[in-house]
Amino acid sequence: MTTPLVIKLGGRVLTDAAALNALFSTVHKLAALRPLVLVHGGGDQVQDLLQRLGEVSTKTAGQRVTPAGHMPIVAGVLAGDVNSQLCAVAQQHGLKSVGLTLQAGETLICAVDTSRGAVGIPTPNSSKLLQLLIDSDYLPILSSIGVSADGQRLNVNADLAAAAVAQVLHADLILLTDVAGILDRDGLLIDSINATQAPQLISDGVVRDGMVVKLNAALQAAQHSRRSIAVAGWQDANALTRLAKGEAAGTRIRY
């Protein structure tokens, strides 16, 4: 059986209709190569709506602080607006999309990161629903909304969510970003990073802000699956196709 591929979508591509259509043309081609699952964030859209509503939103260490009072807004944007938009675009490209949240089928379970409010720390749990869908040629598209054991809705960092989904499916993982991959101080692509190199790159400030979360999520998935994980730019269709075929592109995160 072909190993599934989990792709995390985020960044500017979610706010650019032309770029999103171009990306889904590539996704359609990748779906012919292997089973796909998409996981998405939508931080820019959340930030925009919070600001328009007069709410203050902050981040610590590249992750959003989410007061419980913000969750109706966050869930509405991610599980509602962004997820339904992605499902609609996927359908336009001939893909049988199914919009889900992380708790659907108990795919992931979440602890509460009390230091950041209503924020979830995801853990892989059950592959049953996702496997059922991909076996029937559906494209699951998961928003990064989880639920705690006591039923509290939680905002989950989409990179961490995608890593946990990849773990539950024993899948390969591509974390898409606005740049070609993880860059060095001179803005040049770093081809490969392993668990030994990563802490030094972070402490030196070469990898910082949201890219730290992305790198740590990739390392977590790589160490669990014993596969290399890719961080790559969404703009390069050829790079995504090479990655789907197991070839080199972007930054490879190795266990």
Nearest one of 76, 73, 146, 122 to 221, comparing CA atoms: 122
* Residue 227 counted as an annotated binding residue: no
- 2 with 30: CB under 8 angstroms? no
Q: Which of 8, 181, 210, 233 is catalytic?
A: 8
β-strand pairing of 97-101 with 59-60: unpaired
Q: Which of 41, 99, 120, 159 is catalytic?
A: 159
* Residue 42 counted as an annotated binding residue: yes
Q: Which of 10, 181, 214, 250 is catalytic?
A: 214
Q: Which of 10, 41, 43, 146 is catalytic?
A: 43
* Residue 62 counted as an annotated binding residue: no
Q: Is 11 tagged catalytic? A: yes
Q: Is 135 tagged catalytic? A: no
Nearest one of 159, 203, 201 to 41, comparing CA atoms: 159
Question: What is the number of alpha carbons within 13 Å of residue 194 lying toward its C-beta?
Answer: 3
Q: Is 209 tagged catalytic? A: no
* Residue 34 counted as an annotated binding residue: no
Q: Which of 11, 146, 233, 250 is catalytic?
A: 11
- 8 with 162: CB under 8 angstroms? yes
Q: Is 62 tagged catalytic? A: no
CA distance 252 to 115: 31
Q: Which residues are annotated as a binding site?
A: 42-43, 64, 155
> Which positions make up the binding site for substrate?
42-43, 64, 155
Which active-site residues does the annotation give? 8, 11, 43, 159, 214
